[in-house]
Amino acid sequence: MKESKTILFALRVAEKEDAELLPKVAALAKALDANVELYAVLLPLLYGSVGVYGELIDETQRTLKHQARTELETHASTLRLAGIMTSVSVSVDGRAHEAIARRAEAPDVDLVVVGCRARHRLHGLLLYTDWELVRLCPKPLLLIKDAAPWQDGSVLAAIDPGHEFDKPADLDERILRRASQMAAALGEPLHVVHAIAVPPEALIPEIAPYPAVVAEMRAAAIARAESNVDTLVKNTAVIVERHLSTDLPAAAITRVAVACGANLVVMGAMSRSMLRRWLLGDTALKVLDALHADVMIVKPDISLRTRASLEATAA
């Protein structure tokens, strides 16, 4: 018997923008032959009951939770009529991104979907749910920008087969596997982009006056990158169009995504401490804010608990 996969769609109740994404989630569930769980997280009215008003506060919280479940059931009925097995759940938590990440650790959850803010500001200090999930979510995370259907475009996978930008060795395979799956499911062509490391004259200023040496080093770097990409994509089931760039990763991904009309960009992300995000920036965040396309984030295969431990150590 085939094991069923679940798409966990975390949406905000009473938010029109999130409800408008349901047809897109339904289309994806159909294409991937997956179930859907509609999941909402409510903020607690207060942490714990307070004096004589405690019972009233608790009752109000229960009423809000019931109303949220009723709204989710209304959405779920539409998906069920389309033949998609759909469940609903509601929880109360002061940190929505942590609640979603915990729910995502369930074995049946294969993909987490959330709506994405138009732009993130002061992301190192403010806790945006979508951005914090990029950092914390243990499963692939799809950030949907708008309700426009995926059509007449492409899927772009951002890879780093030479591990020039400090990514784990198996992450590219995971990215490419997900991108291939999405391209096949959506009937879109698959492109890959690889940003080659910083040009050598920037790393070794002493060689800048010798253009022949610079050209030879650049040619060698490009040849090595082409070989690495060819090795990575040779067993891909769908046809892949390759793009190499000497831009930094965020610029390369953004430029190629626009050029190939990408509806979806699949890329990796590494967890970093707040200080490292603030000082160094993050490719995933830059791409997320720069692109109109939806973005899928793929992580190394480590648990939520291990990821939190690594971040605490890095901080």
CB 67 within 8 A of CB 88: no
CA–CA gap between residue 72 and residue 22 (Å, rounded) = 11
CB 189 within 8 A of CB 296: no
Please determine, looking at this structure, whether the domain spanning 1-115 carries the CATH number 3.40.50.620: yes
Confidence at residue 226, expressed as pLDDT on a 0 to 100 scale = 87
β-bridge mates for residue 154, sequence order:
262
List the pLDDT tens digit at each of the 315 positions of the chain: 356 799 999 998 888 899 999 999 999 999 999 999 999 999 888 655 556 667 788 888 899 999 999 999 999 999 999 999 999 999 999 899 999 999 999 999 999 999 986 555 544 434 468 888 888 899 999 999 999 999 889 999 999 886 655 566 688 889 999 999 999 999 999 999 998 876 666 667 777 788 888 888 888 888 888 888 888 888 777 778 999 988 888 899 999 999 999 999 999 886 544 444 433 346 777 888 888 899 999 988 755 455 555 444 444
Question: How many Cα atoms within 13 Å fall on the side-chain side of residue 263?
Answer: 17
Q: How far is CA 138 from CA 77, 275, 304, in A?
A: 28, 21, 6
Question: How many Cα atoms within 13 Å fall on the side-chain side of residue 259?
Answer: 14
* Angle (nearest 5°) at CA 154 between 153 and 157: 155
Enclosing H/E stretch for 178: helix 171-186
CATH, domain range 150-315 = 3.40.50.620
Which residue reads 């004589």 in tokens? Answer: 52
How is the chain split into domains, by residue range?
1-115, 150-315
Tell me if 1-115 shares its fold with 150-315. yes
CA–CA gap between residue 242 and residue 256 (Å, rounded) = 10
Confidence at residue 279, expressed as pLDDT on a 0 to 100 scale = 36
Residue 288: strand, helix, or coil? helix
Within 8 A by CB and 6+ apart from 82, the residues are 26, 30
